Amino acid sequence: MTVRGPLITLAAVAAVGVGILTVNISQEESVVPGTPVAAPTTVSTTVAAPPAPAFPAKADYVGKIATANGSITLDIAVEGDKAVAYACDGNSIESWMRGSAANGAVSLASKDGTGRLEGRLDGTAIVGTLSIGQKQWDFRAETAYSPAGLYVYEQGGVRGSWIVDSSGKATGVLRLGDGSTAPAPDLANDGSAVIGGRTVTAARVRGASDV
């Protein structure tokens, strides 16, 4: 009697076993013993930080700050890496501040320490915080073009300070020799004003001015 079924099955199993063994041997031979395996390549994704915004060589920034009793006008004059700022309400509140202008930021303080201004460039404006005494306000001062800017006259202990905004309106404070203050007189387009019955001429203040 011939037994064909079991023999065919055994032959098939043997063929499959030989095929698996051949594949394993082929895979083992594809890696040469002692050959180092290369590490995967790493691609750097570091992105350089954008450069800090820069101030123009000379510029004035003027803004209005709403307060509980009215408003404060602010001018920030920048020249090179220096800046001067003046803030006043046109009556009795005023503060002169000086400091640095670098890497798109200004940091200014008054000589007596009662005034402080910190700001940064935001497009064509400076935004930041103004402090006078115990009070503090946020501000936004936009670029202003001549004749807008900051003006001062000082002689004999009398000082007149003005901010001219983009509309040509001047806001200022007159400080007398005894320390009292009053609204500054009108400032003409040519920078002249009448103080104590005498016509005087105010000087333009720039960021590097010593005021």
Question: What average pLDDT does this structure show over 126-154?
Answer: 96
How large is the average pLDDT for residues 85-103? 97
How much is the average pLDDT of 50-78?
A: 93
User: When comparing pLDDT for 22 and 164, which is higher?
Assistant: 164
Q: What is the pLDDT of residue 144?
A: 95
192 has a pLDDT exceeding 90 = yes
* Res. 86: pLDDT tops 50: yes
pLDDT range class, residue 7, cuts 50, 70, 90: very low
How far is the CA of 50 from the CAs of 9, 54, 81, 103, 110, in angstroms?
Answer: 74, 12, 20, 12, 32
In single-letter form, the type of residue at position 17 comes to G
The pLDDT value recorded for residue 211 is 86
CA 79 to chain CA mean position, Å: 16
- What is the rounded average pLDDT for all residues in the chain? 84
Res. 38: pLDDT tops 50: yes
**Cβ atoms 101, 83 nearer than 8 A:** yes
DSSP class of residue 70 equals E
| Residue 24 confidence (pLDDT) | 44
C-alpha to C-alpha distances, 181 to 47, 65, 147, 149, nearest whole angstrom: 55, 20, 25, 21
- Mean per-residue pLDDT for 21-48? 52
pLDDT at residue 1, as a whole number: 42
- pLDDT at residue 29 greater than cutoff 50: no
Average pLDDT for 11-25: 38
Q: What does the block give as tokens for 157? A: 């202990």
Verdict on whether the full-model pTM lies above 0.85: no
What gap in Å lies between CA 40 and CA 210, rounded to an integer? 62
